[in-house]
Amino acid sequence: MKAEELIKVWDLPLRVFHWLLVVAFFIAYLTEDELLTVHVWAGYLVGGLLIFRILWGFIGNEYARFANFLCSPAVSIAYLKDLMQAKAKRYIGHNPAGAAMIVLLLLSLLMTVSTGLAVYGADKGAGLLAFIGNSHEEFWEEIHELFANFTVVLVVVHVIGVVAESIIHRENLARAMFNGNKKRP
């Protein structure tokens, strides 16, 4: 494809965020108790990346800003219905289903990191759970695992959506997340 047929959509900070998040989350997910130090540091990285993404949602380029892609659940559902019928409108930035997925992933990851910090703090005798008492540590561990597993489910759905959208619109969206470019409308 010729350069004049492409538009830079995903800027470098967003692409680095995306792939670092993928790596950090799966390192944390796969290490759990066996390599607790690695698990914890990967979790800290996920937390830092989430803070970055939330800020970037307000100050990043036009395609990264929440104001430019967030929509109502009804719009996201209507888009999914069109996608299932292979007649979904093409978006340069995030489509309505992608917007909903971003919100779900950010919330699920925020819950995973928050509960992980609480459990780790209680285990080390610091943090909110240590202040309240360790009697609920097991409950928070279960909530932490629930959100981590829910995040994996969301990631699988996200990948399926990327593949479906790539097929319907004949555009490699995974490659766009590496080089930042998409086809012009």
* CATH number of the domain encompassing residue 66: 1.20.950.20
pTM of the model: 0.89
Express each pLDDT in 1-43 by its tens digit.
Answer: 566 689 999 999 999 999 999 999 999 999 987 898 999 999 9
Given a cut of 80, whether residue 58 has pLDDT beyond it is yes
Residue found by looking up tokens 């309240």 in the block: 132
Evaluate whether 56 touches 182 at the Cβ level (below 8 Å). Answer: no
Model confidence at 126: pLDDT above 70: no
Domain that holds residue 90: 3-183
What domain count does the chain have?
Answer: 1
With residue 15 as reference, give the H or E element that holds it: helix 12-31
Write out the H or E segment, with its range, that includes residue 123. helix 96-123
13 burial via Cβ count (<10 Å: 0-12, 13-18, 19+) = middle
